[in-house]
């Protein structure tokens, strides 16, 4: 059974993981995630600081993952590393380290697309979160709606035209005076909010939308953020922040749920898989389950450890490519943006 070491350094988590198995029958042997708390001081990720922090921690994080799995590097068959998309300097730390380690050990290195990793993450916790399914990936940098016919065969149905879902949560959190990253703080506030006081329209959802329209599956969150900004300006923020958070979250989740429902229905899928940091949001999972019950589809959401950035998902996607005989060359490079691999016509 192949054993993969996964490495993730695309943003502000230095993570390593050991995973073994074949096909969908995999065993997570270890997962170490070191979050860079330093960025909280700046209200957002500072790329140069992120790269330097990865440099400092990558060796102990990888060693710790090997120790936790009770294996030594000699029993690793391949190294999977996030090569795109992400912060270029941060990605380069992982890619250079992975290539050097692979070269010295004489084992292959496999470059993994970060969002394909998020797509695999939920299957590490739920054996039924496997294709075919409708996938909704909602992170700080991306919002992707995919029809997943099989692993490695993805129909990209929708993406965001502007801000990502997590980015919208973080920006609204800032407007409401909450710490970074703000998604979970907005969710907590919204729980106590009155849903009737601030009603924002669900972005890109109209009553008579037709499947032929260009934005049937698309997202856009910057208009909603501006609407929240205007509401904040006209309000007593201390008194109204819970209600504003609630109105914002209802509109954003309403849009995510509606588009995902359309996709699952159109492609006849009975499984919906959520991934990415925003998939930590319990209100999203609950709303998604409620709507999907109309078409008898089951919704799978990862726990926070696997929803946010982690190397287990990179090792899992790496195993898939390894088993298909795919290897990266030692000139593997990092890219700040890159389309998800395996795209097929929608
Ligand atoms: O996937 P992720 O860890 O990093 C990226 O690849 O971007 O996602 C981080 C994002 C942040 O924007 C954060 O605010 C959001 O996930 N997030 C949440 C929640 N927990 C994390 N958004 C909404 N509700 C939450 N409970
Ligand atoms: Zn991510």
Q: Are 175 and 232 in contact (CB under 8 A)?
A: yes
Query: What pLDDT, on the 0 to 100 scale, is given for residue 93?
Result: 98
211-216-219 Cα angle (round to 5): 170
What integer is the mean pLDDT of 132-153? 98
Tell me the mean pLDDT in the region 251-259.
98
**Position 233 pLDDT exceeds 90:** yes
pLDDT digits (tens, 9 = 90+) for 169-186: 999 999 999 999 999 999
**Residue 70 pLDDT more than 90?**
yes
- pLDDT of 43 > 90? The answer is no
Going from the Cα of 269 to the center of ligand 1, the distance in angstroms, rounded, reads 26
The model's pLDDT over 322-337, given as tens digits with 9 standing for 90+, comes to 999 999 999 999 999 9
pLDDT(208) > 90: no
Sign of dihedral through CA atoms 165, 171, 58, 95?
positive
Has residue 6 got a pLDDT over 90?
yes
Pocket lining: 277 vs ligand 1, CB cutoff 6 Å: yes
DSSP character at residue 193: S
Atom of ligand 1 nearest to the CA of 284: 24
The answer to whether the CB of 172 falls within 8 A of the CB of 186 is yes
Q: Give the C-alpha separation, 33 to 63, whole Å.
A: 12
| Pocket flag, ligand 1, residue 11 (CB < 6 Å) | yes
Residue 207 CA to ligand 2 center (angstroms) comes to 32
Band of residue 207 on the pLDDT scale cut at 50, 70, 90: confident
Give the mean model confidence (pLDDT) for residues 229-250: 97
Is the predicted pLDDT of residue 293 greater than 90, yes or no? yes
Ligand positioned closest to the Cα atom of 39: 1
Locate the ligand 1 atom nearest the alpha carbon of residue 307 and give its number: 1
Q: How far away, in angstroms, is 47 Cα from ligand 2 center?
A: 15
């Amino acid at each position: 059974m192949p054993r993969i070491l996964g490495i993730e350094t695309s943003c502000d988590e230095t993570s390593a993981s050991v995973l073994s198995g074949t096909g969908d029958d995999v065993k997570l042997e270890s997962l170490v995630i070191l979050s860079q708390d330093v960025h909280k001081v700046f209200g957002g990720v500072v790329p140069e600081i992120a790269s330097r922090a990865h440099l400092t921690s990558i060796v102990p994080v990888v060693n710790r993952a090997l120790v936790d799995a009770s294996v030594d590097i000699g029993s690793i068959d391949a190294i999977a590393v996030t090569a795109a998309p992400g912060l270029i300097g941060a990605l380069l730390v992982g890619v250079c380290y992975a290539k050097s380690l692979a070269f010295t050990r004489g084992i292959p290195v496999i470059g993994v697309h970060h969002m394909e990793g998020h797509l695999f993450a939920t299957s590490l916790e739920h054996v039924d979160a496997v294709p075919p399914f409708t996938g909704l990936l909602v992170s700080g940098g991306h919002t992707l709606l995919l029809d997943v016919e099989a692993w490695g065969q993805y129909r990209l149905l929708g993406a965001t035209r502007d801000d990502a879902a997590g980015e919208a949560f973080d920006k609204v959190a800032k407007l409401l005076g909450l710490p970074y990253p703000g998604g979970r703080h907005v969710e907590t506030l919204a729980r106590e909010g009155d849903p009737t006081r601030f009603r924002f329209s669900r972005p890109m959802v109209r009553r008579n939308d037709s499947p032929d329209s260009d934005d049937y599956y698309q997202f856009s969150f910057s208009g909603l953020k501006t609407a929240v900004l205007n509401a904040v300006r006209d309000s007593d923020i201390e008194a109204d922040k819970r209600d504003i958070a609630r109105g914002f979250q209802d509109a954003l989740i309403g849009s995510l749920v509606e588009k995902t429902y359309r996709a699952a229905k159109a492609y006849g899928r009975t499984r919906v898989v959520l991934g990415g940091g925003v998939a930590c949001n319990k209100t999203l999972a609950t709303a998604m389950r409620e709507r999907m019950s109309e078409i008898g589809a089951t919704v799978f959401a990862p726990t926070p450890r696997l929803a946010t950035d982690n190397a287990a998902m990179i090792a899992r996607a790496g195993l898939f490519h390894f088993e298909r005989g795919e290897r990266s060359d030692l000139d593997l490079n990092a890219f700040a943006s890159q389309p998800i691999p395996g795209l097929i016509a929608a």
